[in-house]
Amino acid sequence: MNPARKGHASRKHNKTRRWIVALSAFFLILTILTIAYLFYPTNNKPNTTNTDPAFKAFTDHYLSIMHNLNSSETRSQLASQINPSYNQTDLFTWQKNKMTFVQDSAGFFEDPFQILDSGKGICVQWSIVYVSACLALGYQSRLIVAADTASWSFVHVWGEDYYNGTWVHVDPSDKVWNNPFRYQSWSWGSAIGSQVKIFAFEDGTYKDVTATYNSH
């Protein structure tokens, strides 16, 4: 074969081989990403399948609260009011000295500083302050809301702390740590998993954690 032709053929072959390698790498990466998406635990994905406007209003409301609690301004301001050596259960006592549990929800707030200024609240206010205090001290914490799916209104609110590699149930108004099935004996407890669904809210994300609180 003519050396010039041979060199041209060799260059063409090398170019074709590079294209094949590049395309193979592209399809390999695409396959890996597809598999990762399909098999990533579904309970770690935001629940976006419910198109009910009431459900959207419900999730938007608590996402907004968590956005405020996670803001650098809220964290730094609240951290200045708390002993930095406190652990998650130390905050039970700190909060008890700051707040009173009151049944009547009239005039209640959902901003931690307004709540602390008022010094009162039901489960919602106690949980907001507790989660906010945890976040201020650098602990990973989130708001848990049990909702009546008929109206998408809350029936109870508490928190969870990420502790030793897992999310732990925390009910600050009762100073309860890691007793997720306690609500089974409550009036609405038998409806968990049917009419009552439970959601965990972080900054910008939420997920259904009903199974964690359903012993049935």
Span 102-156, pLDDT tens digits: 988 778 999 999 999 999 999 999 999 999 999 999 999 999 999 999 999 999 9
- The whole-angstrom separation of Cα 142 and Cα 169 is 10
Q: Is 144 helix (H, G, I), strand (E, B) or coil?
A: strand
Does the residue 46 lie in any domain?
no
Average pLDDT over residues 183-201: 97
Do 82 and 20 reside in the same domain of the chain? no
Does the residue 23 lie in any domain?
yes
Do 78 and 183 reside in the same domain of the chain? yes
CATH number for position 78: 3.10.620.30
At 74 the pLDDT is 98
Do 26 and 133 reside in the same domain of the chain? no
At 12 the pLDDT is 53
Does the residue 45 lie in any domain?
no
By mean pLDDT, which of 103-112, 153-162, 182-191 is the weakest? 103-112
Distances (CA, A) of 17 to 10, 21, 31, 84: 10, 6, 21, 61
**Rg value, the chain, Cα:** 26
Do 163 and 80 reside in the same domain of the chain? yes
Do 70 and 130 reside in the same domain of the chain? yes
Average pLDDT over residues 55-62: 98
Number of structural domains the chain divides into: 2
At 43 the pLDDT is 41
Mean pLDDT of the chain: 86
Do 9 and 106 reside in the same domain of the chain? no
Do 137 and 94 reside in the same domain of the chain? yes
Do 204 and 108 reside in the same domain of the chain? yes
Residue 119's domain spans which residues? 52-213
Span 77-103, pLDDT tens digits: 999 999 999 999 999 999 999 999 998
- The whole-angstrom separation of Cα 178 and Cα 93 is 17
Do 194 and 118 reside in the same domain of the chain? yes
